[in-house]
Amino acid sequence: MNTSKLKVERRTAVLIAVMVALMLCLGLLGLCYGASWASPGEVFAVLTGADRSVVISDWRLPRVLAGLVFGAALGVAGAIFQNLTRNPMGSPDVIGLDAGAYTGALVAITVLSGTSAQLATGSVTGGLAVAAAIYLLAYQRGFSGLRLVVIGIAVNAMMTAVNSWIVLRAELEVAIAAVGWSAGSLNGVSWDDLTIPFALIAVLLILMTTRAHAMHQASLGDAVATATGVGLNRLRLLMVLVGVGCTATVTAVAGPIAFIALAAPQIGRRLAGAAGVPLLPAALTGAVLLQGADLLAQMLLAPVALPVGVVSTAIGGCYLIWLLTKEVRRA
C-alpha cells in the first residue's frame, strides 16, 4: 500500500515538473509570437525591466497569464464537479453551468450597460441559479451524481435555447458582439480586465485547497465520508460555490470556453495515475490546454486570431467521442 502510494506521489511530482516546464515554454512562445516576432532575449529583457515594450508587457503578457490562470480555474472547476457527481461527464460546460453563467452575462449586456462589474455579477448569479435548479431537481430521496448529470444536460439544452432567444431579440450591434463573445476568446484581454478576476480565482482556489482532502473522502462514497467526519452538505455547498465561481469568473471575462473543464481533470488524473480526480493535476493540465489552444487559435488563420473556444471545442469534441466510446465499451 505504501509502495503504491509512493509511486503515485512520485508520478505526480514528475507530472507537476513536466507541466510547469510546458507552461513556461508555451508562455515564452506566446510572448514571442505575434504580428512581429520577438526574440526570447527581448522577452526576458522586458520581463526583467531592462527594456520596455508595450506589445509584450501590455498586450501579450496579459493574454498569456489569462490563458494560464483561466485554464487552471476551469480545470479545478471540472475536477470539483466530477468529484461531486462521481462521473467524468460532470463538468460545468456539460451540465449547464457555463450556459447559465452566459445567460447572466447576456442579461447584463442586453438589459444593463454591460460593465465589467455587471458582467461578473450577472455571470455568477446565472451560474448559481442554474446550479441551484439542477441540484434541487436532482435531489430526490438523496443525492445522485448520475441523475445530476442527466438533468444538467437537459438544463444545458434549455439554457442554450434561452441564450439564443435573448441574442435574437437584442439589437443588431449587441447581438453581433454577444455571438462573437459566446465563442470564448482571449483576444484583446488587458490588465484592467484581469486584476479582480485573478484575485477572485486565487481566493477560490486557496479555499478549495483547504478542503481537497474532504472532497476526495466524499468521492469515495457518502458512508466513507460520514464515517471520517466529513460534513457532506456543507462540503457540497462549498464545492458548488467554488466551481460556479471559477466558471462564472472566466465566463465574465472571456466568454464560455468549452471542454477545458471536461477534459483537463480526466487527462490530469490519468497522467498522475491517481485513483480520484485530484485538483493540482487538473489545474496544471487545464492551464496547459488553454495556453496551447490559444496559441493554435492565433496561428491557424494568422494574422486573424480565432476565438480560443473554437479550438478548445474541436479538441474537446474529439476527447468527448473517445470518452463516450470508452464508457460504452466498459458498459
Average pLDDT along the chain: 85
Query: In the prediction, which pLDDT does 315 show?
Result: 79
Comparing 18 with 94, which gets the higher pLDDT? 18
Tens of pLDDT, residue by residue over 131-167, are: 888 888 877 666 667 788 888 889 999 999 999 898 8
Between the ranges 65-79, 122-136, 180-194, where is the mean pLDDT highest? 65-79
Contact indicator for 193, 116 with CB cutoff of 8 Å: yes
Res. 6: pLDDT tops 70: no
Residue 325: is it exposed, middle or buried by C-beta count within 10 angstroms (0-12/13-18/19+)?
A: exposed
Contact indicator for 122, 105 with CB cutoff of 8 Å: yes
Give the span between the Cα atoms of 193 and 171, in whole angstroms: 25
Res. 21: pLDDT tops 90: yes
Tens of pLDDT, residue by residue over 168-197, are: 888 888 888 777 778 888 988 889 889 889
107 is in which domain, residue-wise?
2-330
Give the span between the Cα atoms of 242 and 314, in whole angstroms: 27
Comparing 11 with 162, which gets the higher pLDDT? 162
Contact indicator for 200, 206 with CB cutoff of 8 Å: no
Q: pLDDT band for position 4 (50/70/90)?
A: low
Number of structural domains the chain divides into: 1
Query: In the prediction, which pLDDT does 188 show?
Result: 83
Mean pLDDT over 11-25 rounds to 90
Give the span between the Cα atoms of 139 and 123, in whole angstroms: 24
Tens of pLDDT, residue by residue over 291-319, are: 999 999 998 887 888 889 888 888 777 77
Phi/psi of residue 113, nearest 5 degrees: -85, -10
Contact indicator for 179, 309 with CB cutoff of 8 Å: no
Phi/psi of residue 320, nearest 5 degrees: -65, -40
Grid cell listed for 330: 466498459
Grid cell listed for 13: 511530482
Distance between start and end Cα atoms, the chain: 29
Q: pLDDT band for position 24 (50/70/90)?
A: very high
Return the CATH number at 221. Answer: 1.10.3470.10
Query: In the prediction, which pLDDT does 148 show?
Result: 83
Comparing 109 with 74, which gets the higher pLDDT? 74
Give the span between the Cα atoms of 55 and 281, in whole angstroms: 32
Query: In the prediction, which pLDDT does 91 show?
Result: 84
Give the span between the Cα atoms of 93 and 248, in whole angstroms: 11
Give the span between the Cα atoms of 150 and 139, in whole angstroms: 12
Mean pLDDT over 106-134 rounds to 85
Phi/psi of residue 254, nearest 5 degrees: -110, -5
Query: In the prediction, which pLDDT does 200 show?
Result: 92
Would you list the DSSP string of 220-275?
T-HHHHHHTT--HHHHHHHHHHHHHHHHHHHHHHH----SHHHHHHHHHHHHHT-S
Between the ranges 43-47, 225-229, 269-273, where is the mean pLDDT highest? 43-47
Helix (H, G, I), strand (E, B) or coil at 91: coil
Tens of pLDDT, residue by residue over 200-241, are: 999 999 999 988 888 877 777 767 677 777 777 788 888 888
Percent of the chain residues past pLDDT 90, beyond the cut = 27
Query: In the prediction, which pLDDT does 331 show?
Result: 57
Query: In the prediction, which pLDDT does 313 show?
Result: 84
Grid cell listed for 16: 507537476
DSSP state, residue 273: T
Mean pLDDT over 37-46 rounds to 90
